Amino acid sequence: MIEFHKKWITNSCLIIKENCQKINMLDQEIGDGDHGTTILRGLEEAVSHFRANNEFDNSISFMNEISKLMRISMGGASGILMTIFFKELGNLNFNDLYNTILTTFSNTINKIETRGKVNFGDKSFLDIYVPIHQELIQNNLIDFDKLITKIDESLEYTKSLEARVGRAKFLDSKGVGVIDPGAYSTSIILKEFFKEINNEKNN
Ligand SMILES: [Mg+2]
């Protein structure tokens, strides 16, 4: 189980690295310009930690530790809010995959709403989690192709949203016309997650 988490985090780190400048550029338009660098720093911290240490009891304590290291190295609101999913994923169970994924998403969404005082439609990474959670419920199973399409559509949709959270809400444009950088990094992390789930299922 921990091997699943390691592969997912390693792959996410690679793709975030490839897209780091693009994410920073989006954040330069509507934020403080460093989101790509920040999320990459967190993921690289996680990867170097599990490459240097082999002793992990179970996925819950493993993901607790990983999310804590990421939270500290990223800092700020994104460190607190973007690591919630990582911590919740410690509870993933391949014997009850669909239900534990659903629980992971609903717990993640509730905690982001409460801790971040952010709602669906505010132009944030929650605008990825919520539609994917709904898609999972609607399909009643894990439909890989539909989920990837939904992630892409949801990301594109953040372009049209007016920001009600973060620095972008203070801009005259409210960030309209620009994809949300946090939603961008989240879309990568979730695509890599479902790719790895798909690989496991086909094994
Ligand atoms: Mg920042």
Ligand 1 geometric centre to CA of 36 (Å): 9
199: number of Cβ within 10 Å: 13
All residues with CB under 5 Å from ion ligand 1: 32, 34
Ligand 1 geometric centre to CA of 112 (Å): 17
CA dihedral over 66, 81, 45, 158, signed as positive or negative: positive
Domains located in the chain, CATH noted = 2-201 (1.25.40.340)
Ligand 1 geometric centre to CA of 17 (Å): 16
Ligand 1 geometric centre to CA of 187 (Å): 18
Ligand 1 geometric centre to CA of 32 (Å): 5
Contact yes or no for 202/53 (Cβ under 8 A): no
Ligand 1 geometric centre to CA of 52 (Å): 28
Q: Tell me the pLDDT band of 76, cut-offs 50, 70 and 90.
A: very high
Ligand 1 geometric centre to CA of 40 (Å): 12
DSSP state of 57: -
Ligand 1 geometric centre to CA of 34 (Å): 5
Percent of the chain with pLDDT strictly greater than 70: 100
Q: Tell me the pLDDT band of 18, cut-offs 50, 70 and 90.
A: very high
Q: Tell me the pLDDT band of 1, cut-offs 50, 70 and 90.
A: confident
Ligand 1 geometric centre to CA of 105 (Å): 24
Ligand 1 geometric centre to CA of 80 (Å): 12
Ligand 1 geometric centre to CA of 201 (Å): 36
Question: b vs e for 55-84, b when ≥16 Cβ sit within 10 Å of the residue's Cβ?
Answer: eeeebeebbebbbebbbebbeebbbebbbb
Q: pLDDT of 157-168, one tens digit each?
A: 999 999 999 889
Rg (CA), the chain: 16
Q: What is the average pLDDT score of the chain?
A: 96
Burial of 158 (0-12, 13-18, 19+ CB in 10 A): buried
